Each structure stands twice: as C-alpha cells, then as structure tokens.
Amino acid sequence: MSFIESLIIYFFSFAVCLYALSGIDFARIMKKGRSFQIQVLYLVLGMSLAYLLGKFIMAIMYRSFIV
C-alpha cells in the first residue's frame, strides 16, 4: 500500500473518530474549568482511535487483496 493511500485512510479515520467522539460529553466527565485538558483528551483519543481504525481497514484491504 502506498504512502498516499495510507494517509488518505488515516485522515478519513480521523474524521470518523472525531465525529463519533463528538457524541460524548467530556465536560460532564472531567472537572469544571478544565477545557484545555478536555480538548487535549479529545484530540489524543481521536488520533488513537483513528490509528487503530486505519490499521484495521488496511488489514482488511490487504487480506482481501483489494490493494
């Protein structure tokens, strides 16, 4: 799989993960007045989930010989 294809998959996964995480109200979970920490957590969770989702998609594509 080429670098460009992997990059597209990761960006798509990142967008999907951020969309999914937007449904969680982190302000209710975290302490009051910690907006910067909430944003950092949101970003780190989004990147982590996007990496896992991207790897999963690439593994599925590799196993099914799409690439």
Q: Give yes or no for residue 57 having a pLDDT over 90.
A: yes
Distance CA 36, CA 42 (A): 10
Please give the residue that has the higher pLDDT: either 33 or 21.
Answer: 21
**pLDDT score of 29 more than 90:** no
Q: Are 18 and 46 in contact (CB under 8 A)?
A: yes
Task: Collapse the DSSP code of 28 into the 3-class scheme (helix H, G, I; strand E, B; otherwise coil) and give the result.
Answer: helix
Selection from 66, 42, 62, 54 nearest residue 14 by Cα: 54
Reported confidence tier of residue 67, pLDDT bands at 50, 70, 90: low
Closest listed residue to residue 3, CA positions, set 63, 60, 11: 11
Give me the residue spans of the domains in the chain. Answer: 3-63
> Is residue 14 predicted with pLDDT exceeding 80?
yes
